[in-house]
Amino acid sequence: MTLGEQQRLFFSLYIQWAAWLLARGYLCTWGEALRSDEQAEINALGYEGRSRLAQMIAPAFTALSQKILNNGKNNGIRGSLHELKLAMDTNLFKDGKYLETTEEWREAGEHWESLHPLCRWGGRFGDGNHVSLEYEGKK
C-alpha cells in the first residue's frame, strides 16, 4: 500500500471511529494531527532541551520562546506518524468529563484497534489519546 493510499485509509477509518464514538455518547475535539518537521524536532528535545532553546531565543523571539516553553509535557519522536498524516490525538469526553487516563480510553482505543489490522492505539505504549495506522513498523 502506498503512503497516499494508507493516508486515505486512515482518514476513512477515523471517520468511522468518530461516528461510533458519537453513537455511544462520547464527545470529541481534535488534538494534534499533522505535526510539522520543526515541531517534531522541538518535541524530541524533551522538556529540558525545550527550556534551553526557549532561553536562547527569548531575546529575539519572545512570543515563540514562550510557545516552546509552554509546550508542557509533550515529548515526541522524529519521524512520527503525525508527520505522515497517519496519526491523530483526540480529546474524548463522556458524561461531561474529559477522559484523561488510558483506562478511561480503553473502550474507545480497543474499538479503534478492531477496525483494521494496522490500527494502533497509543494506550498500548503510554499515549492514551493517540490513534494511528502502523506504517513501516512505526505506531
Average pLDDT over residues 5-20: 98
Which domains occur in the chain, in start order? 1-35+80-139 (3.30.1380.10), 36-79 (no CATH)
pLDDT tens digits for 107-135?
999 999 999 999 999 999 988 999 999 99
Distance separating alpha carbons of residues 22 and 84, to the nearest angstrom: 26
pLDDT tens digits for 42-62?
777 878 888 888 888 889 998
Do 26 and 108 touch, CB atoms closer than 8 A? yes
Alpha-carbon dihedral angle through residues 28, 33, 38, 44, given to the nearest 10 degrees: 70
Higher pLDDT, 14 or 46: 14
pLDDT tens digits for 73-110?
556 666 689 889 999 999 999 999 999 999 999 999 99
